[in-house]
Structure 1
């Protein structure tokens, strides 16, 4: 999206499995390294690589609260209405981010649409369809799927799944990220993203609001 002139911010409400600081470790550090985006925000961090509510309890730390996270996201969004703010979950749509609430609950609270990142190998059809059905059941608009780790020489299951995923889920496959993309340099990664997630894919986000 930055490649098409839109400002982008990325938020990780809850990070687990990284005891260090957000500037050195975790998903946002990877975003910075791969894209150069610096508008990055992490709200809560817990040391054990578990579901956030479990990791918080094991560490003796308070769990994240749904309304606190939602309010912080609203405040952050209001500071720059023309920016696209991407919010990443943790582990899946029904993983508990705090006591008795999930990414689905957060999306409902914010009336936010969702993009589902899915694997492409065996088992992906079932997992992707379950996630999309869950989102729709909660009244969440699903914009599409993004496939992860597409090998250069995909096997039969992956080749067929790329075709079947939109059919089974009822939402488009917006593109796929090649295997090994996480090891690319910043410029290589940005070129890859523009090639694999083209303007037609990103059109809901790259239209500058009037």
Structure 2
């Protein structure tokens, strides 16, 4: 089973949206072990809506926390401590690719000593970085790349989404991580769009894996 961890340069940059496209493209299962905040629904539920009538399975969270905050804060409010070892013990036992979505970025704290990047290392997963094009994303992208290098995380490459200015090639050059794909901006995210993007990137994505 290949494990691919989907992380990004911050919160609200499209990890869940990209995860749905990747699950379609790779016919992979999806797992978000830590969900913080679900008043408007969970990321697993959102992805699951687009994977109906496919062979992909959305696996349940290990931690499902009420407060939409940093996981360590949300857990603390419920008298819970997020245990990285417990997450690793509950990795779905499957014979297909598993996409694992993180919470926020690499240095989001899970507890008082472990960050999302530490979870990636414990899971033994490869990494796909998601960057959304906005003012400031060059800095956030390169900081993310620096953490990956410093922690020796096995990065597959970048997936860019949205539109602002054309600086994807510069992020690729400065980070020294390749671009896997660019997903265009759309005001209408629906099944047709997700299926089309999955089909468009399937071949090049598999070349990176």
Partner of 2:37: 17
The structure that has the greater radius of gyration is 1
- Kept in 2, the 8 Å contact 1:64–1:99? The answer is no
Match of residue 191 from structure 1: 196
Separation of aligned partners in 1, 2:45 and 2:142: 30
2:150 is aligned to 137
Higher helix share: 1
Partner of 2:156: helix, strand, or coil?
strand
**2:80 corresponds to 1:67:** no
Number of residues of Structure 1 aligned to a counterpart in Structure 2:
185
TM normalised by structure 2 equals 0.79
Alpha-carbon distance between aligned partners in 2 of 1:56 and 1:149, rounded to the nearest angstrom = 32
Equivalent of 1:93 in 96, 106, 112? 106
Q: In structure 1, how many angstroms separate the alpha carbons of the residues matched to 2:143 and 2:27?
A: 32
Where 1:15 maps in the other structure, the secondary structure is strand
The alpha carbon displacement at 1:186 in A equals: 1.8
Who is 1:208 aligned against? none
Q: Which has the higher contact order (CA 8 A, sep 6+)?
A: 2
Gaps of 5+ in 2: 1-21
Contact 1:35 1:189 in 2 (8 A): no
C-alpha change, 1:204 and 1:55, in structure 2 (3 Å) is: same
What's the RMSD between the two structures over aligned residues? Answer: 2.1
| Structure 1 unaligned blocks of 5 or more | 206-210
Match of 1:147 in 2: 160
Pair 35,164 (structure 1): closer, same or farther in 2 beyond 3 Å: farther
The residue aligned with 1:47 is 66
Aligned equivalents of 1:173 and 1:35: distance in 2? 25
Greater CA drift, 89-98 or 37-46: 37-46
Secondary structure at the counterpart of residue 162 of structure 2: strand
Partner residue of 1:80 out of 85, 94, 115: 94
Give the drift of 1:3: 5.5
Matched position secondary structure for 1:147: strand
The TM-score, its normalising length taken from structure 1, stands at 0.79
Report the equivalent of 2:182.
176
> Within the alignment, does 1:116 sit opposite 2:129 as a pair?
yes
Aligned CA distance change for structure 1 residues 112 and 185 (closer, same or farther; 3 Å): same
